[in-house]
Structure 1
Amino acid sequence: MRNLDETDLRILELLADDARRPFSDISDEVGLSAPAVSDRIDRLREEGVIRRFTVDVDQSTLSGGTPVLVRLSVRPEFVTGVRDALRDADPVEHLFVTADGEVTFHARLNGDALRIELDELVDLSTVSDYEVSLVESAEWTPTVSGTGFALECAECGNTVTSEGERARIGGTLYHFCCSSCLDRFQSRYDRLEAGARSEN
C-alpha cells in the first residue's frame, strides 16, 4: 500500500477548507495538472481516506431547537446499537464514541421535551447514566495538518502499515494489516455470500 505523500496531504487540507474547490484551483496549489489531481482524489476515495464530500450547514440559521451536548454512559453490549441509531438521527450533528464506551453527541433538541426526545433517539434502558449540557457555541474545524494518517484493518481494526495488504471484495476495496486478516475476512464474506445465494 502506498503511503500518503505531501501532495496528498495538501490536497486533503484544501478539500477540508472547501470541498467544492475546483480541481484547477487545487492543481495550481500543488503543482499538478487538474487530471492528475482528479486521479489522486479518486485514489483517496478508493482507499477510504475520503469517505464523502459534504456541506457544513449552520443549523442555527435554519431550524429551531436547543443546541445540547449529551454524554451517555452506555452498557458495553449496547454501544454499537446506540452509536448506529444516533448516526442516522436527523437532530444529531456530531457523534463521538470513546474507548471506554461513552457516547457523546451534539444535537439540536426541543428544550421543553428533552427527555422525551432523547428517549426517541436512544433506548434509555441501554443507558446507565446521562448528562445534558446546553451549548453556547460550537465550531467544527477539521484539519489534516500535522496528522499521521493510517488506515484501519477491515478485520481486526489494527493500523494498516506499509506491510499491509488490500483486496477488492464484492466490489469494495478493503485494507488489512496482514494476510491472516485478509483470509479470515474473505472466508467470512464467501460464507455469507454463499448463504445469501442459497436462500434465493
Structure 2
Amino acid sequence: MRDLDETDVEILSLLAANARRSFSEIGERVGLSGPAVSDRVTRLEETGVIEGFTVDVDRTKLRGGVPVMVDVELAADAGVGGETALESARERLREADAVEHVFVTVEGDIRLYARIGGNSVREWLAGTFEGLPVDDWTVTLVDEVEWTPSIDGIEFALTCAECSNTVDSEGETTRIDGEVYHFCCSSCLSRFRDRYQRLEEGA
C-alpha cells in the first residue's frame, strides 16, 4: 500500500474546503491534468481515505432555533443505572436533535453546541438533563459560528482493522465482500479473514 504523498494531501485539502470543485480546477492548483486528479480521487475512495462526498449545511441559515454553547458540570463519581454520569449524559445528548456538537473536557465535564427551538432554553436544558447528576450549567448565546475544515499539516494514518495499530507502507489492503480493509501486517489480515469467515458460516 502506497503512502499518501503531498499531492494527495493537497487534493484532500481542496476537496475538504469545497467538495464541488471540478477535477480540472483542482488539477490547475496541484499541477496535474483533470483525468489525473480523477484517478487519484478514485484511488483515495478505493483505499477508504475518502468515504463519500457530503453536503455541508450551514445551519445558521436555516434559523432552526437559538444557538447556544452550554458548559455542563457533572457531579463527581455519580452514576445512573450502572453508567457513569458522563456516559449517561453523552447517551442522552446523542439522541437530542437540537445538539450539533459535544465536547468532553479533561475534567470529565461536557460542553455542547445546540440550536434550541421553542421559547425557553432553560426548559430545554431541564428536560434534557432530567434525572442526571448535574451540579451546574452555564449557557452562552452564540452570535456567529464558523468552522473551516482543514487538512493541511495533518499526517494521515490508516488504522488496522484487526488491532487498530497504524498501517504504514509495509501494511496490506484487501477487499472483502465489497468493503476495503487495511491491516498493519499479514498476520492481522489472516486473523481478520478467519474470524470473518467463521461469522459468515455461523450466520
Under TM normalisation by the shorter chain, which class is it?
Answer: 0.7 to 0.9
Give the stretch that moved more between structures: 127-136 or 110-119. 127-136
The percent identity for this pair of structures is: 52
* Higher helix proportion (structure 1 or 2): 1
The correspondence for 2:91, drawn from 68, 82, 94, is 82
Q: Provide structure 2 residue ranges, at least 5 long, that are not aligned to the other structure.
A: 75-82
Structure 2 distance, partners of 1:193, 1:63, is 47
Residue 189 of structure 1 aligns with which residue? 196
Alignment of 1:117-156 (within 5 A): 118=128, 131=137, 133-136=139-142, 137-156=144-163
Structure 2 distance, partners of 1:99, 1:165, is 36
How well do the aligned residues superpose, as a CA RMSD in angstroms?
Answer: 3.4
Alignment of 1:88-99 (within 5 A): 90-95=97-102
Q: Which runs of 4+ in 1 moved over 6 A?
A: 71-74, 97-103, 127-130
Cα deviation for residue 104 of structure 1 reads: 5.4
Structure 2 distance, partners of 1:189, 1:99, is 37
Distance 1:7 1:190, change over 3 A: same
Give the stretch that moved more between structures: 91-100 or 44-53. 91-100
The correspondence for 1:113, drawn from 114, 123, 129, is 123
Cα deviation for residue 60 of structure 1 reads: 1.9
Write the letter of the residue equivalent to 2:192: F
Structure 2 distance, partners of 1:193, 1:154, is 17
Name which one, 1 or 2, has greater alpha-carbon Rg: 2
Write the letter of the residue equivalent to 2:155: G
Task: Answer whether contact 1:154 1:175 (CA < 8 A) is retained.
Answer: yes
Q: Provide structure 1 residue ranges, at least 5 long, that are not aligned to the other structure.
A: none
1:69-117 CA-to-partner distances (Å, cap 9, x unmatched) read 45677739958x939x82x864343355789987754332342532366
Distance 1:101 1:3, change over 3 A: farther
Distance 1:96 1:187, change over 3 A: farther
Given the two structures, how large is their TM-score scaled by the length of structure 1?
0.75
Distance 1:124 1:56, change over 3 A: farther
Query: How many residues get paired?
Result: 189
Task: Answer whether contact 1:109 1:117 (CA < 8 A) is retained.
Answer: no
Cα deviation for residue 45 of structure 1 reads: 1.6
1:35-91 CA-to-partner distances (Å, cap 9, x unmatched) read 111111111122222222223222122133232345677739958x939x82x8643
1:107-148 CA-to-partner distances (Å, cap 9, x unmatched) read 3234253236635xxx976x8878564352332111111111
Residue 171 of structure 2 aligns with which residue? 164
Residue 77 of structure 2 aligns with which residue? none
Q: Secondary structure, in 3 states, of the residue corresponding to 1:68?
A: strand
1:153-188 CA-to-partner distances (Å, cap 9, x unmatched) read 222222111122111112111111222322232222
Distance 1:67 1:77, change over 3 A: closer
**Is 1:22 paired with 2:32?**
no
